[in-house]
Amino acid sequence: MTEGQEITIPQPESFTKEEAGRAIRGAQEFKTILIKCGSDSRKVLLNSEAGEKLQCMFLGIKPVSGLLSHEAEKVKVIPLPGRFRFVGDHIYDTEAVDAVIKQNPDVFPDFSGDIDQYMKKFLGNGDPAASNHSDTILKIGVLYGFPKIAAIEYARYYQDYWHNLVDFSVWAAYSVFYTPDRWGEIARETVLHYGARRKDGKLNGDPNYLNDFLDQRENEVEDYLSRANPSWPKDAIDYCVKIRGRKIKAFQFLIRRDLPEKEGFKKKVEGLYETSGMNKVLTDSKKVPVWQRWFRRG
């Protein structure tokens, strides 16, 4: 974000009748595609992280998804609607991208008016999620469908604060970082947990790895960060201390524990899955047909 740029912070997440209607249409489309698909594509749609991302895209709540290369190859053979398009290993829904850009002109002041041209430029120069530029981080957070306030704060604090703790954890995992006092212990534990790295240096992808640690030792962590980084402003330390990881369907992001959006977004996603009929589509699609049950008995 540029210096002094005004960013509109929304109210806690909820969904409108328009969003519900779009989700209902998307769930029906998803059901139709399941019927057309072969068994391998059905497995992708029903039993994989890539499939969960696509479900959220059909519901209109995830305009863009980043896929691993092997996931993208499997998704590309699925007969998706024409509005779903690829740039490298990213897939986007032109209608959803158009809607989110129009809803957030403050985040996309450089939008040219041509969705495909804009997305090719934005997604075609490396993974924007790996960028160190706050403007890019904010844009990809909003395009991925994360709560806007979570994207705003992550973009604001990532480069100078959060990212320092995460990078430091790689070194800390392999170093002799303990000192005999409590200071050394909390220092090592803090950098390991922020970087989601176990003591053997391997990544721990469970958001609760950081959450449980901060829930139990938040005051100690705040004291450590304040003493170790005296130049950091209080709001940056407050962000790092109150941050919590959230995993809701295909969404994994960081958000402060005291924001109403923390639970509001969960209700929105779960509400749209239920209201749209997507939950029923998924449940029915995983049922074993009667003739197969009898065949297996024989």
Partners of 93 in the β-ladder: 84
For the beta carbon of residue 196, count every other beta carbon within 10 angstroms: 17
H or E element: which one contains 38? none
CB 91 within 8 A of CB 72: yes
Place of tokens 């929105």: 268
- Residue from 148, 91, 152 nearest 119 by CA: 91
Query: Rounded to two decimals, what is the model's pTM?
Result: 0.86
Rounded to whole angstroms, how far apart are CA atoms 237 and 225? Answer: 7
Q: How many residues does the chain have?
A: 298
**H or E, element range at 165:** helix 163-174
Neighbours of 95 (CB within 10 A): 15
Q: What is the pLDDT along the chain (298 residues), one digit of tens a residue?
A: 444 455 444 455 578 889 999 999 999 999 999 999 999 999 999 999 999 999 999 999 999 999 999 999 999 999 999 999 999 999 999 999 999 999 999 999 999 899 999 999 999 887 887 787 899 999 999 999 999 999 999 999 987 888 777 766 655 555 544 455 666 677 778 877 888 877 777 788 788 989 999 999 999 989 888 888 889 999 999 999 999 999 999 999 999 999 888 888 999 999 999 999 999 999 998 765 544 444 444 4
Angle CA(83)–CA(80)–CA(77) in degrees, nearest 5? 130
User: Around 130, how many Cα atoms within 13 Å sit in the side-chain half-sphere?
Assistant: 6
Q: What share of the chain is helix, strand, coil (3-state, %, to 5)?
A: 60, 10, 30
DSSP reduced 3-state for 47: coil
Task: Give how far Cα 229 sits from Cα of 134, 181, 220, 221, 234, Å.
Answer: 21, 19, 14, 12, 10
